[in-house]
Amino acid sequence: MTRGTVLSAPFLLAALCLAQPRPPALHSPDIHPDRTVTFRLSAPKATAVLLTGDLVKTPQTLEKDSAGVWTITIGPLRPDLYSYRYSVDGLQVIDPGNQARPATMFTVPGDGPDIYDLRSVEHGELHERWYKSKSLDEIRRVIVYTPPGYQSAAPKYPVLYLLHGAGNDETSWSESGRVNLILDNLIADGKLKPLVVVMPYGYAYPPVSPLAAGPDAMKRQRSGFNRDLIEDVIPLVQANYRVYTDREHRAIAGLSLGGAQALGAGLAHPELFSRVAGFSPALGAVTSPEAGGLDFKQLLANPAKVNSQFKLLWVGCGTDDTLFKSVQTFTQTLSSSGIALTYRETDGAHTWLNWRRYLAEVAPKLFPKG
Amino acid sequence: MTRGTVLSAPFLLAALCLAQPRPPALHSPDIHPDRTVTFRLSAPKATAVLLTGDLVKTPQTLEKDSAGVWTITIGPLRPDLYSYRYSVDGLQVIDPGNQARPATMFTVPGDGPDIYDLRSVEHGELHERWYKSKSLDEIRRVIVYTPPGYQSAAPKYPVLYLLHGAGNDETSWSESGRVNLILDNLIADGKLKPLVVVMPYGYAYPPVSPLAAGPDAMKRQRSGFNRDLIEDVIPLVQANYRVYTDREHRAIAGLSLGGAQALGAGLAHPELFSRVAGFSPALGAVTSPEAGGLDFKQLLANPAKVNSQFKLLWVGCGTDDTLFKSVQTFTQTLSSSGIALTYRETDGAHTWLNWRRYLAEVAPKLFPKG
C-alpha cells in the first residue's frame, strides 16, 4: 500500500460528498417558446401560495396538485428581465428551482440582446467603498461605476449621481437595475459618452432608526441626505476618481424616493447640477411641507432662470404607477409655468421594468457626445 | 388657491404612502446581554419551523404559541458574526424581523471590536468586473479588493488569489467573509502589509451545467478552473491593477472546495505561486483519481524541493468539521514525509466562523512586513 493509496481513500469520500446530487429541484421558472412562463414550488403543507413581483399586476394564486406541487402559468410576457418571489402562507420564499444568480430574477428573451443583457463587449467596473460621513457621523457605503477603459485612459469623466428608491439601498441600481451592463452596452454601441455613476445610500437614517420616525422625520431625512451627498459623497468621489468637478459635468437622477431626492437636491442646487431626472418620483418627499422641501413657488415664478440653469430636466412615469396622477399633475404644472421639461409617459407600473429603460433612455441625453 | 397649494395636495398623499408604517415586525433576532439570542417568526399556518445556520450544530426546532408565533432561545453564543435562516415546512425563509443588511446575518458583540467589524479606519475598495474568459468561452465575473491608499499611492502590491467553496460564488468572500473589512482592520492595526485580493468564480461549469455531471465532471471542473485562473484571470489582474507579477508576490488560498483548488493549483504551479493555504479543504477535489488531480506521490517523494519552493504551506480545519479526519490524515502524511507545513487545528465546524478567522490569521503570514 503506497502513501498515495493511503491518501486517496478518505479524500475520495470527501469528493463523493461534494459530487452527491441534491434532491432534484423542480424546473422553475420554465420559460416556454411562446413566452408564457410556468412556476413550480413543492410545498405540500402550505395552504396558500402566491406569485409576487414585477411580472404580475397583482399577486397571483398558484394551484396545488396531489403531490403538493404548486403551479401557475402566466403570460405571454413581453421580453424583459423580471423579479419575483413566492408568498407562502404570508412568508416570502425565493424559488428553490431558479438556478439563476440571483435566484429572484429571470429573463424572457426577445429576438436579440436587450439593454441589460451581459454581452461580449468591453466592461466597466463597479467599485464598492466605505467612507466616513462627517455630516451624519456614520460609516456608509457608496457604489461607483467606472466605464470601460477607465484604468488605462487618461481623461476625466462627467458624473451622474444615481439614487435608489424607498426600502432599497446603494446596491439596488447595480443588482436590480444592472446599471453597469446597461451603460457598458450603450457605450459599446456608440450611443453613450463614457461617464462615472455614483450610487450613495439614500437614507440619512435607515427606516429602523428612531430618527426615521416622528413629526420631523421627513425634514430630517431630506436635509441629512443632502448634507451627506454634498459635503461627503461629492468630495469623496472627486478625491478618488478622475471626474470633472464643475456643474456642467454633474447630473443627478433617481427613482421613486430617489427621484424626489434628485429633483429636490438638483433643482435646489443649480451651482452643483446641470442635469436632473426623476424616474417615477415620489414627489411628496420633495414638495410637501413635511419634507421641508424645495420652494416650488419660487421655481415656478422664474421659469426663464430655471431654463437657463438646467440643460436637462427629465421626468418619466408609467401609466399604471400608483404615483402616476401626482407625477402628471406635477409635470403639467411645471410645463404650463414655462419650465422646459421632458416628460416621458410610458406604460408599466412602479417597477424596475421601467427604471432600467428610463436609465437607458436618459443616460445618453445627459452629456451629449461630440 | 396658489399654485403651491395645487402641487401640495397629491404629493402629500404620496408622502404619506411612503411614510405609512408596515405591520410591526417581530423583534428578531433579539440579542440579550448574556449573549443568548431569541428568534421569533410569525407563521400561524406552518407545522414545523427550524432554525438553521452556522450558529447551531444541527437545525433547532422552534415552539409555536397560540398566536402563531414561533420562538426559540439559543446560546449563550460566543461573540461572532452569525448566519442563519428558517426552514418553514422545508422551505428556506429569511427572517423578516432582521433589520440588518443582509438580513441573514447578525453580530453577537464582544467586549471590543472584532476582526470583521466595520470600524472608523481607512477603507479599501471592492471592484466587480466582468471579463471574457477565452479558456472557457464565457463571460465571467471576478471581485478584486484593493487596499486603502491604492488610488493615491504609487507602489505595486502582492496578490492573493482567494477561492470560495462549493455552492457559493465570487461574491461569497466579500458578502459572507467580509474580506475587505478584515483586511482594512489588519492594515489599520499595522498587522498586515497592504495587498490586493482576487476572488474569481470557482466553477468552470456551474453546478446546473450538463458539463458538471458525468464521469469526467471533476476532471473537467479542475482543469477548466485552472485554465481560467492561469490563462485569463491572472493576466486580467496584471493588466488592470498595480500588482507584482512574479511568483514571490503571488499567493493562493481558499475554503472547502476552494481550499482543495488552492492546494491543487498552488502545489502544481510553483512557477506561479510561492504561498499556498487551504481552509477546511475538501481534499477529494485535489487528490482523488476522479479529480485528475495533483501527483501527490511525486510531491511526497521530494520534500526538500517542495520546501524550497513554497514560503508558506498552511492548512487549517475545525475539529467539528465533517472533513476533519481527512484533513488531519492529509497533513500528517505531508508532515511525516518531511514537508514543512503549518497545520492549524481549531474548534468549530465547516462554517464562515472559522474561515474569517483563518483569513485574519493567514493574511499577515503571506507577505511579511519590512
pLDDT for the residue numbered A194: 96
Which helix (H) or strand (E) element contains residue A357?
A: helix A352-366
Whether A146 and A283 map to the same domain: the answer is yes
- B91-93 and B125-133 beta bridge pairing: unpaired
Q: How many domains does chain A have?
A: 2
What mean pLDDT do residues B9-23 have?
A: 39
CA distance B181 to B193: 15
Residues 6+ apart with CB under 8 A from B251: B158, B159, B160, B161, B273, B274, B275, B276, B277, B312, B366, B367
Q: Please name the residue of chain B whose CA is at the shortest distance from the CA of residue A321.
A: B14
Whether A207 and A304 map to the same domain: the answer is yes
Nearest Cα to Cα of residue A36 among A73, A81, A61, A70: A73
Whether B100 and B40 map to the same domain: the answer is yes
**B8 confidence band (pLDDT: 50, 70, 90):** very low
Please check whether residue A12 lies inside any domain of the structure: no
pLDDT for the residue numbered B273: 98
As to burial, measured by CB atoms within 10 angstroms (0-12 exposed, 13-18 middle, 19+ buried), residue B370 is exposed
Please check whether residue A115 lies inside any domain of the structure: no
CA distance B302 to B347: 32
pLDDT for the residue numbered A289: 67
Whether B198 and B285 map to the same domain: the answer is yes
Contact B11 A325 (CB under 8 A): no
What mean pLDDT do residues B56-72 have?
A: 97
Last residue of a domain, one of A108, A134, A156: A108
Looking at the partner chain, which of A93, A99, A118 has a beta carbon nearest the beta carbon of B93?
A93
Whether B77 and B134 map to the same domain: the answer is no
For B79-130, what is each residue's pLDDT tens digit? Answer: 999 999 999 999 999 999 999 989 999 999 999 999 999 999 999 999 999 9
- Cβ contacts (< 8 Å) between A92 and chain B: which residues? 93-94, 96
> In Å, how far are A44, B131, B198, B340 from B136, measured between CA atoms?
40, 11, 18, 35
Q: Please name the residue of chain A whose CA is at the shortest distance from the CA of residue B258.
A: A18
pTM of the model: 0.93
Whether B346 and B197 map to the same domain: the answer is yes
Q: Which domain holds residue A168?
A: 125-366
- Cβ contacts (< 8 Å) between A322 and chain B: which residues? 17
For B322-367, what is each residue's pLDDT tens digit? Answer: 999 999 999 999 999 999 999 999 999 999 999 999 999 999 999 9
Looking at the partner chain, which of B43, B129, B322 has a beta carbon nearest the beta carbon of A89?
B43
Which helix (H) or strand (E) element contains residue A74?
A: strand A69-74
Whether B163 and B203 map to the same domain: the answer is yes
Q: Pseudo-torsion of CA B28, B33, B37, B43, nearest 10°?
A: -30
CA distance B335 to A334: 78
Last residue of a domain, one of B108, B133, B155: B108
Cell numbers for A260? 424626489
Strand partners, B133: B138
CA distance B212 to B56: 31
Whether B73 and B133 map to the same domain: the answer is no
CA distance A12 to B291: 9
Contact A3 B333 (CB under 8 A): yes
**ipTM of this complex prediction, to 2 decimal places:** 0.92
CA distance A181 to A122: 10
Looking at the partner chain, which of B19, B240, B241 has a beta carbon nearest the beta carbon of A218?
B19
Please check whether residue B330 lies inside any domain of the structure: yes
Whether A153 and A104 map to the same domain: the answer is no
Contact A18 B99 (CB under 8 A): no
**Cβ atoms of B119 and B188 closer than 8 Å:** yes
Residues 6+ apart with CB under 8 A from A63: A70, A71, A72
Strand partners, A41: A70
Determine phi and psi for B239, rounding to 5 degrees.
-85, -20
Instruction: Quickly list DSSP for A322-352.
Output: TTHHHHHHHHHHHHHTT---EEEEESS-SSH
Please check whether residue A118 lies inside any domain of the structure: no
**B12 confidence band (pLDDT: 50, 70, 90):** very low
Please check whether residue B5 lies inside any domain of the structure: no
Looking at the partner chain, which of B43, B101, B323 has a beta carbon nearest the beta carbon of A91?
B43
- Cβ contacts (< 8 Å) between B125 and chain A: which residues? 127-129
Last residue of a domain, one of B108, B143, B167: B108
CA distance A256 to B22: 18
SS (H, E, C) B334-364: HHHCCCCCEEEEECCCCCHHHHHHHHHHHHH
3-class DSSP assignment, residue A61: strand
CA A281 to mean position of chain CA atoms = 13
For B279-312, what is each residue's pLDDT tens digit? Answer: 999 998 777 766 667 777 788 889 999 999 999 9
Looking at the partner chain, which of B19, B89, B288 has a beta carbon nearest the beta carbon of A8?
B288
Whether B34 and B174 map to the same domain: the answer is no
CA distance B141 to B257: 18
- Cβ contacts (< 8 Å) between A88 and chain B: which residues? 88, 91
For B223-237, what is each residue's pLDDT tens digit? Answer: 999 999 999 999 999
- Cβ contacts (< 8 Å) between A235 and chain B: which residues? none
Please check whether residue A15 lies inside any domain of the structure: no
- Cβ contacts (< 8 Å) between A103 and chain B: which residues? none
Q: What is the pLDDT along chain A (370 residues), one digit of tens a residue?
A: 233 333 333 333 344 334 444 445 799 999 999 999 999 999 999 999 999 999 999 999 999 999 999 999 999 999 999 999 999 999 999 999 999 989 999 999 999 999 999 999 999 999 999 999 999 999 999 999 999 999 877 789 999 999 999 999 999 999 999 999 999 999 999 999 999 999 999 999 988 888 888 888 888 999 999 999 999 999 999 999 999 999 999 999 999 999 999 999 999 999 999 999 999 999 987 777 666 677 777 888 899 999 999 999 999 999 999 999 999 999 999 999 999 999 999 999 999 999 999 999 999 999 987 6
As to burial, measured by CB atoms within 10 angstroms (0-12 exposed, 13-18 middle, 19+ buried), residue B29 is buried
Contact A91 B127 (CB under 8 A): no
Please check whether residue A116 lies inside any domain of the structure: no
Contact A287 B7 (CB under 8 A): yes
- Is the pLDDT at B131 greater than 70? The verdict is yes
Across B8-21, b (16+ Cβ under 10 Å) vs e yields: bebbbbbbeebbee
What's the CATH code of the domain at A230? Answer: 3.40.50.1820
DSSP 8-state class, residue A219: H
Contact B18 A291 (CB under 8 A): no
What's the CATH code of the domain at B83? Answer: 2.60.40.10
Q: What is the mean pLDDT of chain B?
A: 91
Contact A326 B91 (CB under 8 A): no
Nearest Cα to Cα of residue A41 among A56, A52, A57: A52
Contact B7 A126 (CB under 8 A): no
Residue to substitute from A7, A116, A321, interface B, most B β-carbons within 10 A? A7
3-class DSSP assignment, residue A139: strand
> In Å, how far are B244, B287, B308, B313 from B349, measured between CA atoms?
35, 22, 32, 21
pLDDT for the residue numbered A370: 64
Whether B102 and B168 map to the same domain: the answer is no
Contact B88 A91 (CB under 8 A): yes
Whether B42 and B142 map to the same domain: the answer is no
| Torsion sign, CA atoms A67, A69, A72, A78 | negative
Counting residues of chain B whose pLDDT is more than 70, the rounded percentage is 92
Please check whether residue B67 lies inside any domain of the structure: yes
